[in-house]
A and B are shown apart, each in its own frame.
Chain A
């Protein structure tokens, strides 16, 4: 079993991480 994730999984994960980071950044922009 390889630890290396598939390209599809990496892309999905990055998209979700982008949503999380996006919320964080957008939050500061709104509050500032």
Chain B
């Protein structure tokens, strides 16, 4: 089997606190090690998860009952916009990049990402970007309040925060593109000999495809917001009807970025779940090849469905039909994936440790979000659902019990490999059950309030929506406080409190990352490992072909 090269870090290992606080800080600022940067990305995402979560709780506190309770309407609008920006660009995306940093080199048998210094730069842009974005809460006029979609002409009414918003979005985009380039170059050029593309773990595959999506779409977002900037300050009229421009054009451009962005937020989650389920079902992943092709199909389709976000903005019937059917087509490869996960579990020797619980919940609850997405894809029906809480329910089902559950499952799955100790399984399960229950209490009633006509992004509502909103608010606070358990578990593991983890950690785990000791040495695979097919393909050989 492969031999992990375990440098005992006595000559160029990580600086610890024992070496002095200044040196320790400089280690994190100047590090080019993929494991260090993975840790930084994950902690950054975790902090942003709580910042964005606090904003969500402001929203839910205000919506706890009809009438205005706690905040001014302007501040409510700022919270909805900032919650989305922080969660999408600050929490979910950096969390996936953190997981990619930690795991991709260990999964494909290389020593680091291809461009270590670019990796450092890509991370350290983010704290500046979000300092700028969050500091808009304190400038005259307050933070951006026109939604994360930044539609003009509304967004052009943003006061002093506007250039700060545009600059921070640019910085986030640069960070994403550098991270994506690093991932693509690493996967294409640095796989260990024998690690052919169709032997790569699904997490690596989904990240490769995600990285291409990022490279293709982030410049579009950058272009769109640059045009907003020039419209506001330099006299152009890209989106101003009075100057010959077209505000609806912004929506087309934004969603040409925005819909692939949705898949950027979910494809790595598919990869994580595809890695965890075979381990705890103790079977090979059903239909590995079809998983890869399905992921590629979803990525391709994501470029030709964007206008389903704007059916009500007005477009020719032929265009509505095209975008309706192309959107529905996405259900096919997504269905392939869901059936493959179920088939992997079928007759498996399943156990339900915390990562598996999150993964099973992912399959179940993400599929609910997928189905409500199909409902929204039906153009005539969307005219009723558009901009209601039904949409909020839909995208939170795919992003919270979808993307966030996969991230949490991935953290529990790989945490013993990162820290060298097992987390507290009882606390992990408690965290899971509280999270899974409260996420449904929060978001399921939104389907009903939305179908009944409650508009999104409004701080007050009619009394007939009161009961649904009360449940959603109770659920949101329960969900929020349950995450403190997660924080406690992660901190305990980082402090090395727990039983020592073995190299393989999980009985059914296969892949190169499990052949190195736990915790993973600071440097791994400086000499390429020898690929053993029994190890590498054990998780994904198609049982039908075998």
For the complex, would chain A's binding face be called helix, strand, loop or mixed by DSSP majority? helix
In the complex, are the beta carbons of B114 and A31 less than 8 A apart?
no
In the complex, are the beta carbons of A31 and B238 less than 8 A apart?
yes
In the complex, are the beta carbons of B181 and A16 less than 8 A apart?
yes
Evaluate whether A9 and B190 lie within 8 angstroms (CB atoms) in the complex, with A3-B116, A16-B181 already known: yes
Evaluate whether A12 and B223 lie within 8 angstroms (CB atoms) in the complex, with A17-B181, A19-B215, A31-B238 already known: no
Binary CB contact string for chain B from 208 to 233 against chain A (1 if under 8 A, 0 otherwise): 00000001101110110011000000
In the complex, are the beta carbons of B32 and A13 less than 8 A apart?
no
In the complex, are the beta carbons of B185 and A27 less than 8 A apart?
no
Number of interface residues of B (CB under 8 A): 31
| A27-B327 Cα distance, complex, nearest whole Å | 24
| A28-B216 Cα distance, complex, nearest whole Å | 15
In the complex, are the beta carbons of B185 and A23 less than 8 A apart?
no
Give the residue of A5, A16, A27, A28 whose beta carbon is less than 8 angstroms from that of B215: A16
In the complex, are the beta carbons of A9 and B177 less than 8 A apart?
no
Beta-carbon contacts under 8 Å, B190-248 to A: 190, 215-216, 218-220, 222-223, 226-227, 238
In the complex, are the beta carbons of A27 and B220 less than 8 A apart?
yes
Interface size class of A (residues with CB under 8 A): 10 to 19
Binary CB contact string for chain A from 19 to 32 against chain B (1 if under 8 A, 0 otherwise): 11101100110010
In the complex, are the beta carbons of B189 and A20 less than 8 A apart?
no
| A29-B115 Cα distance, complex, nearest whole Å | 31
Contacts of B190 in A (CB 8 A): 9
* B510 CB–A CB distance under 8 Å: no
Give the residue of A6, A13, A16, A24 whose beta carbon is less than 8 angstroms from that of B222: A24
Question: Can you name the residue of chain B whose Cβ is closest to the Cβ of A19?
Answer: B215
Contacts of A17 in B (CB 8 A): 177, 181
Report B526 CB to chain A, min CB distance, Å: 6
Report B174 CB to chain A, min CB distance, Å: 10
* B117 CB–A CB distance under 8 Å: yes
Point out which of B12, B219, B226 has the most chain A C-beta atoms below 10 A from its C-beta.
B219
In the complex, are the beta carbons of B185 and A12 less than 8 A apart?
yes
Contacts of B523 in A (CB 8 A): 1
In the complex, are the beta carbons of B215 and A13 less than 8 A apart?
no
Contacts of B220 in A (CB 8 A): 23-24, 27
In the complex, are the beta carbons of A5 and B222 less than 8 A apart?
no
* B111 CB–A CB distance under 8 Å: yes
Point out which of B177, B180, B526 has the most chain A C-beta atoms below 10 A from its C-beta.
B177
In the complex, are the beta carbons of B215 and A1 less than 8 A apart?
no
* B391 CB–A CB distance under 8 Å: no
A to B CB contacts below 8 Å, 19 in the list: A1-B111, A3-B32, A3-B116, A5-B116, A6-B189, A8-B189, A9-B115, A9-B189, A12-B184, A16-B180, A16-B184, A19-B215, A20-B215, A23-B216, A24-B219, A27-B223, A28-B223, A28-B226, A31-B253
* With A12-B189, A16-B215 already in contact, 5 other A-B pairs whose C-beta atoms are closer than 8 Å: A9-B189, A17-B181, A24-B220, A27-B219, A31-B223
The residues of A with any CB-CB pair to B shorter than 8 Å are: 1, 3, 5-6, 8-10, 12-13, 16-17, 19-21, 23-24, 27-28, 31
